[in-house]
Amino acid sequence: MGSKAWQAVLDNLDEAAELAKLDPDVHRMLRTPRRVLEVSVPVRMDDGSVEVFTGWRVHHDTTRGPAKGGIRFHPDLDVDEVKALAAMMTFKTAVVDLPFGGGKGGVRCDPRRMSLGELERLTRRFTYEISPILGPEEDIPAPDVNTDGRVMAWLMDTLSMVQGRLLPGSVTGKPLSIGGTRNHSGATSAGCLDCARVALRELGIPMAGSRAVVQGFGKVGGPLAYLLASAGMRVVAVADIGGAVHNEGGLDIQALSEHVAETGTVAGFGGGDDIDGDAIWDIECELLVPAALGGVITEEVAERIAAKLVVEAANGPTTTEAQGVLDRRGVVVVPDILANAGGVTASYFEWAQAQQAYPWDDGVVAERLRQRMERAFTAVWARAETLGVDMRTAAYVVAVERVADAIAARGLFP
């Protein structure tokens, strides 16, 4: 999985470099991550034995600012996947014009099989091992797959203890009690909604009454389904790891959320018909949102998709081959590095507030998020029209040009 993801990032970069007429030297620099730190993470388990996990923190490019990117705990994680995700963060932060570079990290482990104590000891030891490259001006982690505000609090506390000073700006996605922000958790979903709204407007499709299908009902898919329904769309199908549910008249998202809280899956929800998880790609709709893991839209799936618009809430849900199929079929794709950049934008806001030691009002945060997402969408849409390419290619062109400008301005040390 990881090597394919890294290759896909390089393919996107190469294509954008050609269209942007990128300096070959800068191109070579961007094809290689700035630093890859691999660490061993020994953890004393509850039974008294010591298990040794492997962890990584990758800085892809830090020309525009400190590295920014999530920490994930997953049994299938490998270094190529972390590199790919770090590079995507370089381009994602550039697309929404944030003063950050790209980073990513994680530990290869299965957190579902660990107690809370084991998880805390794992987090703290991993943080200690990568602490030389962390800090508010160096690298600012955030939650990602299988990590949350509690993990971020342990991370911040560990780093603060190591350095002997309080470092609230060293992580984002923290609990409110230690300087987190209310808007952080739902910001990825809110940013996706902003992109969907503007894209539907550009395509001349009214939002009210249009049908949406959401694949994934977790941290992003759940709130997003609710936001889409609140914006007047009919969410006709939702899928998760346990199955899928379909109702042509629109699902009651609040009731579905309660069902998921009780049972752990959307399957078996009384307000719709159970369907096979794979069947959701065939459902006719105006908007399809992949909001689970990467690589789910393959060439074969792309041939079946019956939506006019795909907004990628997940990271890397569409394979390179599948993008070609969707282009041929005239399906508009708002790519992940633009569509789900609401999360990192909210992280930027949280970091800025920590640096200022002054919280902003909720209304200010929401308005600034909407403005940034719409501005980024407009820039990418315009570039796609000018170059006659799909939005993914255009997003990479916009991002690569911004990073290249920063590299040119700073020059090469020494």
Q: Is beta strand 35-44 parallel, antiparallel or unpaired with respect to 50-61?
A: antiparallel
**204 φ/ψ sector (left φ>0, alpha ψ -120 to 50, else beta):** left
Distances (CA, A) of 57 to 103, 207, 303: 7, 40, 37
Structure tokens of 348?
């930027």
Residue 264 DSSP one-character state: S
Rounded to whole angstroms, the Cα distance separating 265 from 257 reads: 9
Q: Starting from the edge strand earliest in sequence, which strands make up the sheet with 139-143, in order?
A: 35-44, 50-61, 101-108, 67-73, 139-143
Q: Which two tokens stand for residue 109?
A: 């482990």
CB 183 within 8 A of CB 365: yes
Q: Which of 104, 174, 219, 308 is catalytic?
A: 104
104 is catalytic: yes
d(CA 70, CA 107): 11
Dihedral pair phi/psi, residue 317, rounded to 5°: -75, -20
- What end-to-end distance do the CA atoms of the chain give, in Å? 37
What is the distance between the alpha carbons of residues 378 and 391, in angstroms, rounded to a whole number?
A: 11
Report residue 308: phi and psi, to 5°.
-90, -25
Q: Helices 116-130 and 149-163: crossing angle, nearest 10°?
A: 50
Do 276 and 244 form a contact (C-beta atoms < 8 A)?
Answer: yes
Please report the beta strands in 26-66, taking only residues with DSSP state E, as ranges in sequence order: 35-44, 50-61
Residues 6+ apart with CB under 8 A from 393: 12, 15, 16, 19, 384, 387
Catalytic sites, residue numbers: 104
